[in-house]
């Protein structure tokens, strides 16, 4: 479970995230949407413990992230949108290294690592240096590392970036099975189709504040959203000025 209360992040006089309240329960995939600069990635990084908030509270699996960051992070796996990995490690060494950060080692961890690499067609590359991996392979390795310690919560920023269609389908199935077992996923994405098909509930952020929140049925329940898909709802809430300007340019 993820609990956020009055979460705020300021940079000088600029407020990137403004007093957000949010609860993501066990057994749910939560989709976090917003245009560029809306505060989405800042929020995700605060939840992952990478950025420290200006004020507010974050709880991961019931543990206060600000008061006990080590215990909270032990319950959490983070998948960034860009796979930064130590290139002089092999794939299996990298998974072993990440597991060691969570005080996990031994035959069970080795077996788990092999299973994750096999799942994403990386087993034959397990003893090759990461520097020889393609971008997509690195993304698969980062995803594997997020699951290596069996966290209660996964925070993932743009999960499908760099993945081929097969790997994307595997990841979707992995996420659904993961939450079916009672775990939690908070996922940001610009791919509205992914959010609409994968997420149990969706939150839309704009200008650092939550503009909408709920299931697709709840978002459509607003009279102004009746019968609309997520793309239409998203554009209405976040402003479709750019689309109108594009039409004006083409008509000029």
Q: Which residue ranges form the domains of the chain, and what is each CATH number? A: 1-75+154-164+186-252 (3.40.50.300)
Predicted confidence band at 197 (pLDDT cuts at 50, 70, 90)?
confident
* Average pLDDT of span 169-191: 90
**Residue 184 CB neighbours (<10 A):** 24
Residues with Cβ within 8 Å of 136's Cβ and at least 6 positions away in sequence, in order, are 162, 163, 164, 167
Helix (H, G, I), strand (E, B), or coil: what is residue 217? Answer: helix
60 strand-pairing partners: 2, 63
Give the DSSP H or E segment for 184.
strand 184-188
User: Taking residues 60-89, what's their average pLDDT?
Assistant: 91
Residue 125 has pLDDT above 90, yes or no: yes
**How many Å apart are CA 28 and CA 129, to the nearest integer?**
35
**Picking from 83-92, 212-221, 233-242, which range would have the lowest pLDDT averaged per residue?**
233-242
For residue range 214-224, list pLDDT tens digits in order. 887 787 776 46
pTM of the model: 0.83
Can you state the angle between helices 135-147 and 107-119, rounded to 10 degrees? 140
Q: Is 198 left (phi over 0), alpha (psi -120 to 50) or beta?
A: alpha
Mean pLDDT, residues 223-243 taken together: 62
User: Given pLDDT bands bounded at 50, 70 and 90, which one contains residue 227?
Assistant: low
Residue 223: per-residue pLDDT = 45
């Amino acid at each position: 479970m993820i609990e956020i209360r009055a979460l705020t992040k300021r940079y000088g006089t600029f407020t990137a995230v403004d007093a957000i309240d949010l609860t993501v329960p066990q057994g749910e995939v939560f989709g976090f949407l917003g245009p560029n600069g809306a505060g989405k990635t800042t929020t995700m990084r605060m939840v992952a413990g990478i950025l420290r908030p200006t004020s507010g509270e974050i709880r991961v699996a019931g543990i206060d992230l600000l008061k006990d960051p080590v215990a909270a992070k032990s319950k959490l796996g983070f998948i960034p949108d860009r796979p930064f990995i130590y290139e002089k490690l092999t794939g299996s060494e990298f998974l072993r290294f990440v597991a060691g950060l969570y005080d996990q080692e031994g035959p069970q961890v080795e077996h788990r690592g092999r299973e994750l690499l096999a799942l994403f067609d990386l087993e034959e590359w397990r003893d090759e240096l990461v520097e020889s991996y393609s971008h997509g392979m690195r993304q698969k390795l980062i995803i594997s590392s997020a699951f290596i310690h069996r966290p209660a919560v996964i925070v993932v920023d743009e999960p499908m970036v760099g993945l081929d269609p097969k790997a994307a389908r595997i990841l979707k199935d992995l996420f659904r099975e993961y939450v079916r077992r009672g775990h939690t996923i908070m996922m940001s994405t610009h791919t509205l189709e992914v959010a609409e098909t994968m997420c149990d509930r969706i939150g839309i952020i704009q200008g650092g504040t939550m503009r909408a929140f709920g299931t697709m049925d709840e978002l459509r329940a607003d009279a102004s959203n009746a019968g609309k898909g997520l793309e239409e709802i998203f554009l209405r809430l976040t402003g479709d000025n750019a689309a109108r300007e594009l039409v004006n340019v083409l008509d000029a």
